[in-house]
Amino acid sequence: MKEGIHPNYRPVIFLDASVDYKFLSASTRSSNETMEWEDGNTYPVIRVDSSSASHPFYTGRQKNTEAGGRVDRFNQRLNRKQQ
């Protein structure tokens, strides 16, 4: 690999402040804000708008607004013709 062209890949803490959920992962993003993790080390903090703890898809609060696809419309027409 060429030296000096790749970003610095390091552990960071992702913080979802809306539900006070945080997890340790790795990223190339940088931040001036730091926080101490459970292992006693200090890592940069990246604030995120949503995570698996707050996103409606993962929490089960998502409303499914399916308007009916092609198969549903075909089955409706088929049922009308059979009656």
- CA 36-37-38 angle, to 5 degrees, is 130
Within-domain flag for 78: no
Model pLDDT, residue 65: 60
For residue 35, give the nearest of 66, 11, 5 by alpha carbon: 11
Note down the domain range covering 12.
1-61
Model pLDDT, residue 25: 94
Model pLDDT, residue 64: 63
pTM of the model as a whole: 0.64
pLDDT in tens, the chain (83 residues): 688 899 989 999 999 888 888 999 999 998 999 999 999 999 999 998 888 777 767 666 666 666 677 888 888 888 988 88
Q: Which residues, in sequence order, are CB contacts of 37 under 8 Å at separation 6+?
A: 13, 24, 43
Within-domain flag for 76: no
Model pLDDT, residue 72: 82
Within-domain flag for 5: yes
Q: Which residues, in sequence order, are CB contacts of 22 under 8 Å at separation 6+?
A: 13, 14, 15, 16, 35, 45
For residue 51, give the nearest of 25, 23, 29 by alpha carbon: 23
